[in-house]
Amino acid sequence: MSRPAAPLALVTGATGYIGGRLVPELLRAGFRVRTMARHPDRLAGRPWHGEVEAVAADAQDPEQVRRSLDGVDVAYYLIHSLGSGPTFEARDRRTARTFATAAREAGVGRVVYLGGLHPDAERLSPHLDSRREVGEILLSSGVPTTVLQAAVIIGSGSASFEMMRYLTERLPVMVAPKWFDNRIQPIAVRDVLRYLVGSATMPPEVSRPFDIGGPDVLTYRQMMQRYARVAGLPPRVIRAVPVLTPRLASLWVGLVTPVPGGLARPLVESLIHEVVAKEDDIRGFVPDPPDGLIGFDRAVELALQRVREFDVTTTFSSASFTDAPSDPLPEDPDWSGGSLYVDDRETVVDADPATLWSVIEGIGGARGWYSWQLGWVARGVMDKVFGGPGLRRGRRHPDRLAVGDALDWWRVEKVEEGRTLRLRAEMRLPGLAWLELVADADGGRTVFRQRAIYHPHGLLGQAYWWAVAPFYGVVFGGMQRNITRAAEERARARV
């Protein structure tokens, strides 16, 4: 006898923050997964892409949505138009009605929607009011519906978390609205995903909203201070004033952080409300894990972990994929994941890759850094003054490097023999820095790729980058030219 097919889950918004993290969780839970997106090709680079059925559909087209829902057991509605302009409420309303009607006609077993936690107030911010209205539209569809209502979601890539991250890291002293002392119940993204997956199997007679939140109830001020402590920053100085309106506050957020103004404003406006769970009935259907819900401090640690164990990429948002929901994913916005500055250079070298590699692997120590010698010496002296290693450590072997070796003020983090050398800075810096040197064979050519990467720590880290950035052309440009020249001279000498 053949085994019954696993239930089919449709995930809308799979290119978004929650959707992209939900798909692998559903696959691990044994679901078949279909994704619905206007541009499904944007998911082609994901490791799970070959395990799902990807359909192209416009969420406002009734017929396309109806076809996408054919045969679906549970449909995840993760669509909202936040940040898309002043008419986002009307667009959200129209799209939700289209989806609700199509789900009923397709005989979908359950709809699961992630909305916003909100108080019982007559006047809500436009953002929260729209999320509330969408939940009501789906609940009235005739399809059993679970509406999960969450406040601030803690995880790299979450717009609310990123706004808090940038404000805390860039402003050691700040003037804040008085509603910075309103209470909020944040929740870790891992717990949100656990609730989403668990909601798929609720009994058919259950159709209602559920408040979801983590174990901590904090003010925004407290969240910033605790973020600072976890991130190793000094306590922030925050002074509340009664005259900073949501509009002015959103303009200020847009000025200080890379979060787009159209997204910052509705998020800031929502902070005027206290958002604390009024019930915890969800535990009757999705029990807490054995270790309990993830607290705020641990959720921040998980969100920052990817920075501390950084696999060097062009930006955090394009970091290599992992299964950790708190990590950045490729489809996250470019402004998410914290600040990252890159000096990227490449040159075609008239030498074979092995010769270029021999120069790269021999860098540092007595041979120096193929660059502005006076600048390197001065930086080394400054590092020693502030308690760093300076340039005196040299290297263990004159020609060979291994992972873990000290190399002047660097530490060898990765050696891909014949191709890649990655160094992590151990000099005294207000941030984290890497230097990556690559000897690449590209279509019969030898290409020398060089990348300096810097992740600032707090406002001092930002100031440091902008103070030294004008010298990077001399330091790293000179290094690029001189390593290239040395490799070409070594190649000619061998002929």
420-425/431-442 β-pairing: antiparallel
- Residue 215: the pLDDT is 97
Mean pLDDT of all residues belonging to the chain: 85
Residue written as tokens 């206290």? 274
Residue 196 has what pLDDT?
97
| Neighbouring residues of 434: CB distance < 8 A, sequence distance ≥ 6 | 310, 312, 413, 422, 423, 424, 425, 451, 452, 453, 454
Task: For residues 162 and 337, give the distance between their C-alpha atoms in angstroms, rounded to a whole number.
Answer: 7
Section 222-236 average pLDDT: 94
Percentage of the chain lying above the pLDDT 70 cut: 85
pLDDT tens column, 111-135 = 999 999 988 876 888 888 889 999 9
Name the band, by pLDDT with cuts 50, 70 and 90, for residue 392: low
Q: What residue type is assigned to position 76 of the chain?
A: Y
Structure tokens at 339: 């600040």
Q: Burial-class residue 135 by CB neighbours within 10 Å (0-12, 13-18, 19+).
A: buried
Reported as a pLDDT band with limits 50, 70 and 90, residue 175 is confident
Distance between CA atoms of residues 286 and 112, nearest Å:
14
Least confident of 16-30, 64-78, 249-263, 442-456: 249-263
Q: For the chain, which residues make up each domain, given as ranges? A: 8-310, 341-494
Other CB atoms within a 10 A radius of the CB of residue 143 amount to 24
Superfamily grouping for domain 341-494: START domain (3.30.530.20)
Instruction: Compare 464 and 332 and report the one with higher pLDDT.
Output: 464
Residue range 254-298, pLDDT digits in tens: 777 777 777 777 777 777 888 999 999 999 999 999 999 999 999
Confidence of residue 370 (pLDDT cuts 50, 70, 90): confident
Rounded percentage of the chain residues whose pLDDT exceeds 90: 48
Confidence of residue 228 (pLDDT cuts 50, 70, 90): very high
Non-local CB neighbours of 466 within 8 Å, separated by 6+ positions: none
Mutual angle of helices 353-361 and 472-494, in 10-degree steps: 120
pLDDT digits (tens, 9 = 90+) for 325-344: 655 555 565 556 667 788 88
For 41, the enclosing helix (H) or strand (E) is: none
pLDDT one-digit tens code per residue, 399-436: 899 998 988 888 898 999 999 999 988 887 788 888 99
Q: Which residues, in sequence order, are bridge partners of residue 183?
A: 219
Say which amino acid occupies 273. H
Is residue 316 predicted with pLDDT exceeding 60?
Answer: no
pTM: 0.76
Task: Decide: 395 and 408 in contact? Cβ < 8 Å.
Answer: yes
Whether 12 has a pLDDT exceeding 50, the answer reads yes
Q: Would the CATH topology of 8-310 be identical to that of 341-494?
A: no
Q: Which CATH architecture has domain 8-310?
A: 3-Layer(aba) Sandwich (3.40)
Going by C-alpha positions, the residue among 26, 3, 17, 131 that lies closest to residue 75 is: 26
Q: Which residue has the higher pLDDT, 35 or 4?
A: 35
- The β-bridge relationship of strands 183-184 and 218-219 is antiparallel
Report CA dihedral (297, 300, 302, 307) to the nearest 10 degrees: -140
pLDDT reported for residue 217: 97
pLDDT at site 458: 80
